[in-house]
Chains A and B, each alone.
Chain A
């Protein structure tokens, strides 16, 4: 195996120290927010009350229908409209987190609706016969079973969100791809050779190392739990 060139070590260190934590933090925020909002909306959608169902359906279809990049840009553009760009760094990070959470919550809501409706009606009736109210039925009987079925798609969502955090690159968040790109530009400026193939190949490799075990886990859970 050929030895790594001298320039590589500081570049990789910068990317792993500065970029990767930002990527993981963004993904953690987005996944937490999507799971919370998504499970709530998906459960609410199983109530037979048409206006509410339509509203949530609209929410899901809009955020799933738009490219995430368009949502990121729009939310990032918003403050420019009246307030002016304050705290660019915070704003960009915040915009990306909100856009990813909106997209993710729509995915989770749809999956939750499916999972809750896949629980047989008899479970509802049995719980009602035991004297549970609507909240008790959901909280102690339906949701524990539904959440189990929701676990594989949740892991899939985590993989998707980790990969989609790279879109925050566009508005200047210093996530992993951005960190790599900055190093690429630095090297090009200082030495004339940016080594793009190796730097972006390294970005690709790290994302693969993170995602591959998770997709295996999702496939495993799907076989085991259903």
Chain B
């Protein structure tokens, strides 16, 4: 095993790490880290809102099999889900100037995660809307609702509820993917921490900041999913 991994091993004693850990180091860099955190939240917020809108609209398009748009949405979803987001970021950042479009790093940051999250969310909402039994829609039509109103008052409230937990999972991934903006030099939390680490070698201090922030947000959202699954569970099986 050792030979496979290149021969040498390093042992880092927990006591040495604890002894050399300096909390003041995090405090000294608080301004930079806080700035990075704000950029992460800002990017993620746009990404979540954007992927919610895309998912809602294209999910409805896919579920109702609206011709042409349905096929276009399918191509979009498959193209995004089957390629790495990092390559999509590269194409957006380095590729678009060749086409005469110049994006700022922040634009690429929110655009990339919005496009990515939108594709995954389309599938979440499509599955949610398709899980609504046809007889409920038929009931809507029988009451004299138009197709759009049936969607608004019947399919959306029920299907949206079914899609909510999986769509929050997508938002969690959208947030985690903001860390990839390190490669284009957008100063979000991970790239700020990584820059500080590169200068100072305070690996454990920087990693504990990253771990605390990401885990706090992700775990809160996961708890929210479990709560919503209980609270929003449909009163009876459909």
By a CB distance below 8 angstroms, the chain A residues around B96 are 197
A69 at the interface (CB under 8 A from B): yes
By a CB distance below 8 angstroms, the chain A residues around B90 are 177, 181, 196, 200, 203
Judge whether A204 and B91 touch: CB under 8 Å: yes
Which of B48-56, B74-82, B156-164 contacts the other chain?
B74-82
Judge whether A166 and B201 touch: CB under 8 Å: no
Q: Would you call the interface of chain A mostly helix, strand, loop, or mixed? A: helix
Known interface pairs A69-B190, A177-B90. Does A207 touch B84 (Cβ–Cβ under 8 Å)? yes
In the complex, number of A-B residue pairs with CB atoms less than 8 Å apart: 130
Task: Please pick, from A82, A195, A203, the residue contacting B12 in the complex, using a CB distance under 8 A.
Answer: A82
Known interface pairs A74-B207, A184-B94, A200-B91. Does A79 touch B10 (Cβ–Cβ under 8 Å)? yes
By a CB distance below 8 angstroms, the chain B residues around A81 are 12, 17, 201, 203-204
Could you give, for residues 180-215 of chain A, a 1 whenever the CB lies within 8 Å of some chain B CB and a 0 otherwise? 010010000000001111001101100110011001
Task: Please pick, from B12, B84, B95, the residue contacting A177 in the complex, using a CB distance under 8 A.
Answer: B84
Judge whether B91 and A70 touch: CB under 8 Å: no
Which of B24-32, B127-135, B140-148, B209-217 contacts the other chain?
B209-217
Interface range on chain A: under 10, 10 to 19, 20 to 34, or 35 or more?
A: 35 or more
Of residues 45 to 90 in A, which have CB atoms within 8 Å of B's CB atoms? 61-62, 64-70, 73-74, 77-83, 86-87, 90
By a CB distance below 8 angstroms, the chain B residues around A177 are 84, 86-87, 90
Known interface pairs A80-B203, A203-B90. Does A65 touch B219 (Cβ–Cβ under 8 Å)? yes
In the complex the two chains form, what is the Cα distance from A170 to B185 in whole Å? 12
How many positions in chain B have a CB within 8 Å of any CB in the partner chain? 46
Q: Would you call the interface of chain B mostly helix, strand, loop, or mixed? A: helix
Judge whether B5 and A212 touch: CB under 8 Å: no
Of residues 79 to 113 in B, which have CB atoms within 8 Å of A's CB atoms? 79, 81-88, 90-91, 94-99
A117 at the interface (CB under 8 A from B): no
By a CB distance below 8 angstroms, the chain A residues around B179 are 67, 69-70
Known interface pairs A62-B215, A80-B203, A81-B204. Does A69 touch B197 (Cβ–Cβ under 8 Å)? no
In the complex the two chains form, what is the Cα distance from A103 to B96 in whole Å? 32
Q: Top 6 nearest A-B pairs by Cβ distance?
A: A196-B94, A90-B6, A211-B82, A197-B95, A163-B84, A67-B179
Residues of B within 8 A of A (CB): 5-6, 8, 10, 12, 16-17, 78-79, 81-88, 90-91, 94-99, 176-177, 179-180, 182-183, 190, 194, 197, 201, 203-204, 206-207, 210-211, 214-215, 218-219, 222
